[in-house]
Structure 1
Amino acid sequence: MSTVAENVALHLLKIKAIKLEPTHPFTWASGWKSPIYCDNRKTLSYPEVRAYIRDQFAAVVREKYPDAEVIAGVATGAIAQGVLVAQELNLPFIYVRSSAKSHGLENLIEGDYKAGQKVVVVEDLISTGGSSLQAVEALRNAGCEVLGMTAIFTYGFQKAVDNFEAAHCELTTLSNYSAMIDLALKTGYIQESDVDKLKEWRKSPETYK
């Protein structure tokens, strides 16, 4: 029986939300060279995929955070994902901007919430965890109790693991880089000769060429 991690990875590969190019790496905004490009916003264009991810997010919240009172999305990639989850769970939704607005009310957090409320944060993708944990910090600074974060996919960098541990924030992802590589090999998206190169990147992405 396929696991959720395998099913999500298969969906992402099929709709080309994940693209793998071990021999012709992509260049990220950070300047890093990468054999993988992940754009989970594409999942929103496919009703079956969108619904599956929504249902798995909701299952995580029900199982791990039954006391959740609010769902928060991280702008901009996880706003729509978070709305879907909040609707499924019949919970309020808010979202956290990357920076406060420079006009109007200058909000950093959009939507109605109260200090002390228990919040689960929804994210689309985890790389180093930096921007995701900024959202957690913003919510905590606003007086919210962050129960944890759940995301569609993580590259599994040790830096991200360390960052989440340091922030005392539990992270649960629906799928991950290791599961994706195993599934991609099993289904013929990549060849055995690609695996070592893909694993090498995850260990030292800063020096990958």
Structure 2
Amino acid sequence: MDIRKIYTDCGALLEGHFLLSSGNHSNFYLQSAKVLEDPKIASELAEALAVEIQQSKLEIDTICSPALGGILAGYELARALGVRFIFTERVQGEMVLRRGFSVQEGEKVLVCEDIITTGGSAMEAGACVEGLGAKVVGFASLANRGICQRGLKPTHKEACKLPALPFFTLADFNFDMYPPENCPLCQHSQAIKPGSRGN
């Protein structure tokens, strides 16, 4: 499965000057919503990711995603794996579990995102459910910006916020990223965050 081609064909691989959720800038942006708007493609991607996870023999009770970006990817992955799905959301800056969702003591949770950059939102979702008694057993994403390393026992780069737990992803997109105070793109244009300005 050529994930880069799928993103390109769906108009989900954007080129320009973008502000990433990590706060960094980049000349490329992955807009997974454009991929996931097609239920057939969303299902195929989730099934491919589910195969990787099933081959690892990792025990999972529940998929949890941080809202908003991870919800569709997480739901489809939960369906492919035949497990429960829940999501966390940010309220006044803090990731919380709402809407009647709950977790049991020791419940094995895999946190799923659409895109992992530094893994910050995924870590917040994981910390939220662990604070309620669940156990995070791994992380997954459709695509990965290349800071966090995939594998069953990954050794992450310093900027990655994920712990050394299993991390599954379909593709690595290793694009240049710049801290805003040292971004060469800022000499010619202002960074935009897709979705915030109508695109």
TM-score normalised by length of structure 2: 0.74
Q: CA deviation at 1:61?
A: 2.4
CA contact (8 A) 1:94 1:113 kept: no
Find the residue that maps to 1:161 and give its secondary structure. Answer: coil
Aligned counterpart, 1:114: 104
8 Å contact from structure 1 (residues 130, 163) kept in 2? no
* Higher strand content, 1 or 2: 2
Q: C-alpha distance in 2, partners of 1:68/1:129?
A: 20
Runs of 4+, deviation exceeding 6 Å: none
1:83 maps to which residue? 75
What does residue 14 of structure 2 align with? Answer: 19
What pairs up with 1:26-45 in 2 under 5 angstroms? 26-28=18-20, 32-45=24-37
By how many angstroms is 1:165 displaced?
6.6
Please give the per-residue CA displacement for 1:61-96, whole angstroms capped at 9, x wherever unaligned.
Answer: 212254111111221111122111212222111111
Rg larger for = 1
| CA offset digits 1:98-118 (Å, max 9, x no partner) | 23799xxx9525524211011
CA contact (8 A) 1:65 1:147 kept: no
Q: Which is worse superposed, 106-115 or 166-175?
A: 106-115
Structure 1 residues 17-166: aligned runs within 5 Å: 17-21=12-16, 25-28=17-20, 32-99=24-91, 108-110=97-99, 111-157=101-147, 161-162=157-158, 164=160
Matched residue type, 2:140? T
Verify the 8 A CA contact 2:117 2:148 in the aligned structure 1: no
Distance 1:51 1:166 in 2: 26
Q: TM-score w.r.t. structure 1 length?
A: 0.71
In structure 2, the CA distance between the partners of 1:91 and 1:101, relative to structure 1 (3 Å rule), is farther
Cα separation, 1, equivalents of 2:148 and 2:63: 27
Aligned length: 176
Task: Quote the Cα distance in structure 2 between the aligned partners of 1:170 and 1:153.
Answer: 15
Please give the root-mean-square deviation of Cα atoms over the aligned residues, in Å.
3.0
% identical equivalent positions: 22
Residue 163 of structure 1 deviates from its aligned partner by: 5.3
- Partners of 2:37 and 2:15 lie apart in 1 by 20
CA distance in 1: counterparts of 2:4 and 2:162, whole angstroms: 28
5+ residue gaps, structure 1: 179-197
- Taking the aligned partners of 2:117 and 2:26, their CA distance within structure 1 comes to 12
For the 8 Å contact 2:63–2:78, the answer to whether it is kept is yes
SS at match of 1:20: strand
Q: Which ranges in structure 2 are unaligned for 5 or more consecutive residues?
A: 150-155, 185-199
For residue 60 of structure 2, give the secondary structure of its aligned residue in structure 1. Answer: coil
* More helix as a share of residues: 1
